[in-house]
Amino acid sequence: MPAHPPRTALVTGSAGFIGYHVAARLLEAGWRVVGLDSLDPYYDPGLKRARHAMLADDPGFRPVTGRLEDAGHLADLFAAHRPGLVVHLAAQAGVRHSIDAPRAYVGANMTGTFELLEAARAHPPAHMLLASSSSVYGANTRMPYAETDPADTQMSLYAATKKAGEAMAHAYAHLYRLPVTMFRFFTVYGPWGRPDMAYFKFTRAILEGRPIDVYNHGEMRRDFTYIDDLVDGIMGLAGAVPGAVPVSARDSLSPAAPFRIVNIGNNAPVRLMDFIAAIEAATGRRAEKRMQPMQPGDVPATWADTGLLRDLTGLVPTVATEEGVRRFVDWYRQYYRA
């Protein structure tokens, strides 16, 4: 048996929002995909099962139900399938939920990532792509955020566990020469999205005629990233394996390991009130807004410097906010018959 069966990818979190879209794109490109997901009830498992069911229509997809942090589970998957590409997206998500349920974050995001790295050490893939988050930039006020900026002031346990995952991955990349690309996501949205995200809640409330809570009195800016642009970035980075030579002066390539960090964002922060206005336009309804103070652990703005992503892949975001919101609202109305 060859070390890596032809074009076999392991996608963790394959029933999640981003994982589903990445797995679907890999299948379209001819990859055999092993999809691991725990179908955790943090949000509607029915939505997760629906995503997996669509992926299962492709004979190249093999769904596996299990938790990252279960000792030996990932090792068994690596031994059985020998993936050449790993896209690690599974995590306990949500900044505010990490205040209420911190153990879930330590388990999934830290212990789970450790189990993944141990499995990769035993059966090294050609490239590992691991998801981090823009939240690791924390209290940084210099914008746009560049991958080489300090990221030592996390504002939530969620962000801290993501930063810990980056540090663990760098250590394994150094010790075992595992090629690792970490990507930091910036507020991803689109069809089949997560119901706990603000844009999803806003759309549901507006269509149901209920008020929406607008935090920090609307004085928020986010680098909203449409899902197709994000997946384009991930697919482009899959072939950009970290080597020994930086690709440009802004490369975050480690001097000690085949490891780099890459922002995937829109490079164009949008005012929260403008994003809500786009939802109002797409739904044809006005929102009743209840202004609220800033929530614990949150930050007022995010903004990605995406120059390194462009250097590595040539990609720039193509989907405008108004168009991305319209596509999401169209999907929402169809899926929920709203």
Q: Which sequence positions are flagged as catalytic?
A: 158
Q: What is the CA radius of gyration of the chain?
A: 19
| 249 contacts 283 by C-beta, under 8 angstroms | no
Cα–Cα distances in Å, from 228 out to 69, 92, 150?
29, 22, 29
| 248 contacts 299 by C-beta, under 8 angstroms | no
Cα–Cα distances in Å, from 169 out to 100, 131, 181, 196?
27, 11, 9, 28
